[in-house]
């Protein structure tokens, strides 16, 4: 990919994923505007880009503040004369359980992660529409698609980014502006370095490819979407998670609903699909109705204690959910 003659603005590019994206654009010939709330980090990234023979400016701006964003875009235009590519990468976390989360924790994350994308897209669209050309790539998250404990604010903000991406793709298509999103999974960054080692090990176990992602993995996808090779791609959310966000569906029908035959019937049907099943799996559950009730009210406990072996044995990392529903004389156990 060749970005010679193009100008890219990457928010939150003083470190981590944003820095990697900025450097990859520069290596491919683009001039780059670096934005960060750390002037020191922004200056460092800009210096690295200049060492590659490309032009760069570093801009301190909080994307949640519209006036600062306006000034940032004016600075980019006065320096480079145009903006061809916007990557909305700036983001923060303020994790906490919902019942203990403060209003300030909620507001900070929504302001930076969602309002920040709105602010930047607004000013970028005005500039890009004048030239009838532009590429906007928003960085979302697998948390928006899967949910994540203690991240109701973060998941909501990134879910909003995904919805905004699809809407803006339709609004801005008339100006030949492509709008897409990249949804990273667990990526090695300064932010994830703070995650406890045991938690990292658990997260990596959930990834089919068996490793954490690198910032360059995300950068490669972003560069493709910013290139003319993706001219016919818009409104899309590209997952870059090593397979963390995957759905697999199997439906096992149980036609004999008597308690005595339920366990054997499930095992027989499940084995036909190549599933691994534990013997005596549901022998101690009095009725189908109670099994359905238990799964509905305490799904995780039932999954672990009662039907842990009743899913298709697939590679570690696939996100699984199970449900059991009754329709007349048929009971459906779904693993997806």
- CATH number (domain holding residue 182): 3.40.50.720
Residue 236 belongs to some domain of the structure: yes
Which residue range forms the structural domain that includes residue 208? 7-240
pLDDT the model gives residue 277: 37
Residue 2 belongs to some domain of the structure: no
Same-domain status, 36 and 173: yes
Residue 153 belongs to some domain of the structure: yes
Q: Note the helical H segments in 90-138.
A: 103-110, 116-131
> By percentage, how much of the chain surpasses pLDDT 90?
65
Strand partners, 8: 32, 85
Same-domain status, 143 and 62: yes
pLDDT the model gives residue 33: 98
Active-site amino acid positions: 154
Of 217, 240, 263, the position where a domain reaches its end is 240
Digit-coded pLDDT (tens) for 155-181: 999 999 999 999 999 999 999 999 999
Instruction: Tell me the whole-structure pTM to 2 decimals.
Output: 0.74
Residue 245 belongs to some domain of the structure: no
Same-domain status, 263 and 204: no
Same-domain status, 128 and 109: yes
Which residues are CB-contacts of 107 (< 8 A; sequence separation ≥ 6)? none
Same-domain status, 155 and 270: no
Same-domain status, 194 and 283: no
What is the tally of structural domains in the chain? 2
pLDDT the model gives residue 131: 96
Same-domain status, 143 and 215: yes
Same-domain status, 29 and 134: yes
Residue 96 belongs to some domain of the structure: yes
How far apart are the C-alpha atoms of 269 and 117, rounded to whole Å? 49
């Amino acid at each position: 990919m060749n970005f010679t003659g193009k100008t890219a603005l990457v928010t939150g590019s003083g470190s981590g994923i944003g820095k990697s994206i900025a450097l990859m654009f520069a290596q491919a010939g683009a001039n780059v505007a670096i934005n960060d709330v750390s002037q020191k980090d922004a200056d460092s990234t800009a210096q690295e880009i200049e060492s590659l023979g490309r032009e760069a400016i570093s801009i301190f701006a909080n994307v949640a503040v519209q006036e600062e964003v306006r000034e940032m875009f004016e600075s980019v235009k006065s320096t480079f004369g145009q903006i061809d590519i916007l990557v909305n990468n700036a983001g923060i976390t303020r994790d906490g359980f919902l019942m203990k989360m403060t209003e300030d924790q909620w507001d900070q994350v929504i302001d930076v992660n969602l309002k920040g994308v709105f602010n930047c897209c607004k000013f970028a669209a005005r500039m890009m529409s004048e030239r009838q050309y532009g590429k906007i790539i928003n960085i979302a998250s697998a948390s928006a698609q899967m949910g994540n404990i203690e991240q109701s604010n973060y998941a909501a903000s990134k879910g909003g980014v995904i919805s905004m991406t699809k809407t803006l793709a339709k609004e801005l298509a008339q100006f030949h502006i492509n709008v897409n999103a990249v949804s990273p999974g667990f990526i090695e960054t300064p932010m994830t370095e703070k995650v406890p080692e045991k938690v990292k090990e658990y997260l990596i176990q959930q990834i089919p490819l068996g490793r954490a992602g690198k910032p360059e993995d995300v950068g490669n996808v972003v560069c493709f979407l910013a290139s003319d090779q993706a001219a016919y791609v818009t409104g899309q959310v590209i997952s870059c998670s090593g397979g963390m966000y995957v759905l697999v569906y199997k439906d096992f029908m149980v036609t004999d609903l008597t308690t005595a035959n339920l366990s054997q019937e499930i095992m027989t049907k499940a084995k036909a699909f190549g599933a691994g099943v534990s013997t005596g799996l549901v022998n101690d559950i009095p009725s189908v109705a109670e099994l359905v009730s238990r799964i509905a009210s305490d799904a995780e406990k039932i999954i672990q204690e009662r039907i842990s072996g009743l899913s298709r044995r697939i590679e570690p990392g696939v996100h699984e959910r199970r449900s059991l529903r009754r329709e007349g004389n048929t009971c459906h156990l779904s693993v997806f």
